[in-house]
Chain A
Amino acid sequence: MARYLLRRLGSIVISLWMLATIVFLLVNVLPGNVGRKVLGPTAKEADVIAFNARLGTDKPMLEQYWVSMKRIFTFDFGESFQSAAPVTELLLPALGRSAKLALLAFIITIPISIAAGIFAARRQDTLADRVVVNVGLASSSIPEFVSASVLLALFAVKWPIGKVYANVPPGSSFFGQLEYLLLPALAMVVAYFGYIARMTRAGVISALHADYIRTATMKGLDQGTVMRRHILRNALAPTITVISVQIGYLFGGIIGVEKIFNYAGLGSTILNAVGKKDIPVLQTGVLMVGAIYMISTLLADLLIAYLNPRVRLEAD
């Protein structure tokens, strides 16, 4: 177990390093002058030179790479080009806000979609099953910004149930916050409902045909117990994997939702950094998303092993 964890953590570090390299290469492909890019074409040449000297962007590429990697691995992510504030000071609160939104989305999505998956699996090939399958397929194929803009049009403008801007005013009560976050969270629910429901359905259907379920039913257990103790324990493994993958992808999809609802989360911060060529913010933001994804995948694997001891933990 400890050895497994160590190997997984090691591979996470290697993956993050490769990710950092990919990001470094991407932001440095153009031999452009960083100071000129950031300060704009009207800035004075002297300012541009001073800017580059201060940030070290006038150094040779290899040296910049070395410095940038060294800083990442010592958790020194540098300062924002724009505001000169430490990058983490900018990104961590934004990450917190995104996490709040994502959490709400997951609290709504997971029970609904698992219930829908079980419901459909028990009525395999009936009309109800087909409705769940096809609604799931449709909802998971729509980009988040599309569902967000339609929800905004319908439920913030036409029938104003939610708010147009998702930014919660400071000092709001719990339910006050919900009012602001509900619509953007629902936009993400639409996107993730389909994957989780379809995966649950597939898992439950294959478990329903297993011998041990027949045995459990034959020995007289009631349906509820069979479902809870026998089917779900086995059927939910792929569902948990999908959920963990979704947590990573969620931060990609959340950018569109945050843009539509003007929400100051991680997505908006990264998007803003893209526009301003704020490379330290960009680099750190992307690494954060990568780290979240890798850690959530690891946690999912541990949870699956806990639920189903037959799954042995092996690195790769």
Chain B
Amino acid sequence: MSSPETNNLEGPVSADVQKKEKPITERSIARQENWRLIRRKPGFIIGAVISAIWLACGIFPNQIAPFDPLDYRVDNNQSPSWTNLFGTDRGGRDVFSRVIAGATDVLKIAPLAALLGVMGGVILGMFMGYLRGRFDTVASRIVESFLSLPVVLLGLLAVTTLGNSNWVVIGVVATLFTPVVARTVRAAVLAERELDYVTSAKLRGEPGWFIMFREILPNITGPIIVELTVRIGYAVFTVATLSFLGAGPPPPSPDWGSQVSDSYNSLISGYWWSTFFPAMAIASLVIAVNLIADSVQSVLDGQ
């Protein structure tokens, strides 16, 4: 991370003067360097390729899928063949087309939920760490009691009472991620707020919100980016599990979790393909996202 001193403190040496004049450039060089390191990780490359494939499927499902994912026309429970690459499910729908179309919902919901959760967590964690005091004590207690519950369980409860819709799932997952992110951000802010640049900002009389979001925030982007990539992985995991438990995107969405839930009972009859392929789709996407998150984390935490 670049020097946090973007203010007008007097630097005695010429190198410091140069640093002072181009603070943004220095930060962007560090950023480019990190990005270069991340890109070179084999895990990142594999994860990015798999994610890109699913992204393409999610954006252009109709162009890629050979059949209508909701169409019941074909014979049911056909094993994989050249016409139906992944076979057909018990409703006679083409599993290959459904797996491709299933990418859409999860790729809409998971990143958005993670992003909102991280934004909420940054704001909450920033206030907790910067203000300290009673607010921090009370908020920490609430955060702790949220952390003591499996996200899936609370999500299940919330979706059941609020009803199935993509927005409810997004809101629930984002709300449940907020305390987790807040804890990380709070810890980062606690370390930052003792540094000289914060003290001098206070002495200059900068308002609290300015110190929090313009002085401290740029210096804790590392842990926030790590948190965001990790949270996207968890969001995919959570959305898939919720939809498997019947609390995901409403039917007839060909969401992967609902496909597994729909067809796992016919495993016993030997129709493995209608469960296996959507299950593998979930596995490949969560592993891909986690490979990306792991690469980002190893570079940004190592600095």
For residue B37, CB closer than 8 A to chain A, the reply is: no
A15→B237 CA distance, assembly (Å): 26
Whether A19 and B141, one on each chain, are in contact in the complex, defined by CB atoms closer than 8 angstroms, is no
- A145, closest chain B residue (CB): B244
Task: Report the minimal beta-carbon distance from B94 to chain A, rounded to whole angstroms.
Answer: 19
For residue A189, CB closer than 8 A to chain B, the reply is: no
Return chain A residues, CB-CB under 8 Å to B282: 142-143, 146
A282→B267 CA distance, assembly (Å): 30
Which listed segment binds B: A54-62, A218-226, A286-294? A286-294
Residue in contact with B294 in the complex, picked from A15, A137, A143, A158, CB distance below 8 Å: A137
A275→B294 CA distance, assembly (Å): 37
Task: Give the total number of A-B pairs whose CB atoms are below 8 A apart.
Answer: 141
Q: A143-B286, A146-B282, A149-B260 are in contact. Are A157 and B268 (CB under 8 A)?
A: yes
Whether A146 and B279, one on each chain, are in contact in the complex, defined by CB atoms closer than 8 angstroms, is yes
Whether A286 and B153, one on each chain, are in contact in the complex, defined by CB atoms closer than 8 angstroms, is yes
A29→B162 CA distance, assembly (Å): 8
Q: A157-B268, A248-B148, A293-B149 are in contact. Are A271 and B244 (CB under 8 A)?
A: no
A-B residue pairs in contact (CB < 8 Å), sample of 11: A11-B144, A23-B157, A137-B290, A137-B291, A138-B290, A141-B286, A142-B282, A150-B276, A253-B241, A270-B156, A289-B150
A197→B201 CA distance, assembly (Å): 44
Return chain A residues, CB-CB under 8 Å to B162: 29-30
Q: A143-B286, A149-B275, A149-B279 are in contact. Are A27 and B157 (CB under 8 A)?
A: yes
Task: Report the minimal beta-carbon distance from B162 to chain A, rounded to whole angstroms.
Answer: 7
Task: Report the minimal beta-carbon distance from A134 to chain B, rounded to whole angstroms.
Answer: 7
For residue A106, CB closer than 8 A to chain B, the reply is: no
For residue B187, CB closer than 8 A to chain A, the reply is: no
In this complex, which of B43, B142, B244 has the most chain A Cβ atoms within 10 angstroms of its Cβ?
B244
For residue B185, CB closer than 8 A to chain A, the reply is: no
- A142, closest chain B residue (CB): B283
For residue B38, CB closer than 8 A to chain A, the reply is: no
Number of interface residues of A (CB under 8 A): 50
- A12, closest chain B residue (CB): B148
Task: Report the minimal beta-carbon distance from A103 to chain B, rounded to whole angstroms.
Answer: 18
Residue in contact with A152 in the complex, picked from B43, B144, B148, B264, CB distance below 8 Å: B264
For residue A249, CB closer than 8 A to chain B, the reply is: yes
Whether B233 and A270, one on each chain, are in contact in the complex, defined by CB atoms closer than 8 angstroms, is no
For residue B240, CB closer than 8 A to chain A, the reply is: yes
- A262, closest chain B residue (CB): B265
For residue B14, CB closer than 8 A to chain A, the reply is: no
Residue in contact with A137 in the complex, picked from B141, B244, B287, CB distance below 8 Å: B287
Interface of B: prevailing SS: helix
- 1/0 contact string of B247-265 vs chain A (CB within 8 Å): 1000000000100110010
Task: Report the minimal beta-carbon distance from B24 to chain A, rounded to whole angstroms.
Answer: 35
Considering the complex, which residues of chain A in the window 143-173 have a beta carbon less than 8 Å from any beta carbon of chain B?
A: 143-146, 149-150, 152-153, 156-158, 164
For residue A46, CB closer than 8 A to chain B, the reply is: no
- A29, closest chain B residue (CB): B161
Whether B156 and A271, one on each chain, are in contact in the complex, defined by CB atoms closer than 8 angstroms, is yes
Considering the complex, which residues of chain B in the window 221-244 have a beta carbon less than 8 Å from any beta carbon of chain A?
A: 233, 237, 240-241, 244
For residue A18, CB closer than 8 A to chain B, the reply is: yes
A156→B275 CA distance, assembly (Å): 14
A16→B261 CA distance, assembly (Å): 32
A282→B282 CA distance, assembly (Å): 28
Return chain B residues, CB-CB under 8 Å to A152: 264, 267
- B288, closest chain A residue (CB): A141
Considering the complex, which residues of chain A in the window 1-55 have a beta carbon less than 8 Å from any beta carbon of chain B?
A: 11, 14-16, 18-19, 22-23, 26-27, 29-30
Q: A150-B279, A164-B268 are in contact. Are A274 and B141 (CB under 8 A)?
A: no
Whether B272 and A286, one on each chain, are in contact in the complex, defined by CB atoms closer than 8 angstroms, is no
Task: Report the minimal beta-carbon distance from B6 to chain A, rounded to whole angstroms.
Answer: 34
For residue B245, CB closer than 8 A to chain A, the reply is: yes
Residue in contact with B142 in the complex, picked from A18, A144, A277, CB distance below 8 Å: A18
- 1/0 contact string of A232-246 vs chain B (CB within 8 Å): 000000000000000
Whether B267 and A153, one on each chain, are in contact in the complex, defined by CB atoms closer than 8 angstroms, is yes
For residue B152, CB closer than 8 A to chain A, the reply is: yes
Whether A274 and B160, one on each chain, are in contact in the complex, defined by CB atoms closer than 8 angstroms, is yes
Q: A19-B145, A157-B272 are in contact. Are A145 and B241 (CB under 8 A)?
A: yes
For residue B270, CB closer than 8 A to chain A, the reply is: yes
